[in-house]
Chain A
Amino acid sequence: MGFDFAHLMELIPDINKAFFQTIYMIAISLVVSTVIGLPVGILLYITDKGLFLENRMVQNILGFVVNMVRSIPFIILLVALLPLTNLLVSTTIGPTAASVSLSVAAIPFFARIVENALREIDKGVIEAAIAAGATPWMIIKDVLLLEARSGIISGVTLTLISLVGFSAMAGTVGGGGIGDLAIRFGYYRYDNTIMISTVLILIILVQVIQLLGDYIAKVVDKR
């Protein structure tokens, strides 16, 4: 069975719905992972050895938790977090439920990316700010976040693209979205038309995200 255009037309409403479910899932998880992951990433960095809020205990505990979540394969995390999902959103199926696991997986991912982006900053710039008598908050806001802005935006792009991949996996446990469609039609029913269409949609989505992310990262960088 090859590509059947008429069949595709028939399923346009389904594809459309799945597409927006995917967008919905990644949007929620992106917001949650950014809001929580950014401060976690900053904390991981500034509590490190030789930095202005050095604190081995915070650094170790935080690092351990982050690594722990990151070491669990997403497909397992998805199932393991079902009780938590049920508690938070009172359901375990559908895009909203999938967003919980997606967020939990994306927070440590994004936090590490933020930490890495901050490591790229020349330590001398931070030192100059300390020498100028700046408060820790000023250093975080005016030096760290500003100097790493471009890197953090690239990190958001990376996280978004990973979320697209993860969200497709969420489809396997009834999370909805493009991945769900691809599995139900493309895999279970050998529906190549749907398979090809969903793959194309994902390719285009990822390309658009990457181009946009690169563009913004470049525009904001004053170096």
Chain B
Amino acid sequence: MGSRASTLLREEEIEEIKKETGFSHSQITRLYSRFTSLDKGENGTLSREDFQRIPELAINPLGDRIINAFFPEGEDQVNFRGFMRTLAHFRPIEDNEKNKNPTASEPLNSRTNKLLFAFRLYDLDRDDKISRDELLQVLRMMVGVNISDEQLGSIADRTIQEADTNGDNSISFNEFIKACEVYVEQNLLLQAELNL
């Protein structure tokens, strides 16, 4: 299976992806076979429907948001490069690559980029702020039906108050980082051994 997938993927492509995302060769081929198995249209790109077909995502409260995160703005298809670029956010940070090439631009799996990815899931209108409404939407997705709108509203208010340092009643990216920083050491997203 792996060998078949790798034949479809040209070596230079693999090299490029490797350089861009830091995935290893075997990871890339594995993910490529996954990519092709998701790609029901067999046109080399994934559509939203392809993602929505993944059954687990249907029971993930944030599933659709995450699907959206795979698509560049205004586009309906994502190719393998884009797919890998998004996945690269979740590659664990390895010790040896911290000082490897400090001059290069920040790798996709850096802490900031990981947080930015999460931040974007909240920030629908891309104004680099999580407004109360945006927070409410996410909250509503994540809580059960037992919480009333009022409760949720006050939770959202409190959340914003807690994180909001400049008093604009919304959470900017910096504030978001700060809010998450406290427990960043144990943060799953940042520490996760996502064995891609």
Question: Do A and B come together as binding partners?
Answer: no
Which A residues lie at the B interface, using CB under 8 A? Answer: none
